[in-house]
Amino acid sequence: MKKVYVAGAINGSSAPQVLANIKQGIKAGATLLSLGFCPFIPHLDYSFALCAEHGEEPNLQQYRDWCLEWLKVCDVIVVLAGSGNSEGVKVEIEYAIEHKIPVMTFEQFIYLQKQETEAIERSDKSKFRTEILGEFIDEP
């Protein structure tokens, strides 16, 4: 199962913006999961802050460190739309490039996966025609 790192802005200028960013990341991860991928979604890290006792919340560097550990084992990083100015995303992209992990937009990744699926389906249909229907085809 291909491991996909979802890179996207989390912080924002307001609480509604932060929540919108988190929602965008979770929705992207859910889409990837429904397509058969194993997504790592840093946007879910907000749950640590919700559950932490006063003073026990991880700091920004701890969040980044463990996210990069996960990125290290991913097959690809997908960057969500509108995340280009995020400092965290910039760090993740740089890390991915240094470690030769493919970087693409979420939209590019989905498009390429659809193309690959269609190619496989075409190949399977062709194989089906040859193996199953071949006996019904008149040979010269």
CA gap 95, 136 in Å, rounded: 55
DSSP state of 75: S
Residue 90: its pLDDT value, please?
96
Is residue 43 a contact partner of residue 83, using CB atoms and an 8 Å limit?
no
pTM reported for the whole predicted model: 0.83
For residue 47, which amino acid is it? S
Burial class (CB in 10 A: 0-12, 13-18, 19+), 55: exposed
List all residues 6 or more positions away from 38 whose beta carbon is below 8 Å from its beta carbon.
1, 2, 3, 4
The pLDDT value recorded for residue 49 is 74
Domain extents for the chain?
A: 3-114
Which residues are CB-neighbours of 29 under 8 A, at least 6 positions away?
Answer: 6, 39, 40, 41, 43, 44
Could you list the mean pLDDT of each consecutive 10-residue stretch along the chain, which spans 140 residues? 96 93 97 97 85 77 92 98 93 97 97 87 65 48
Residues in the chain: 140
The side-by-side arrangement of strands in the sheet containing 3-7 is 38-40, 3-7, 76-79, 103-105
Q: Which amino acid is at 46?
A: Y
Q: Which two tokens stand for residue 106?
A: 């979420």
CATH number of 3-114: 3.40.50.10400
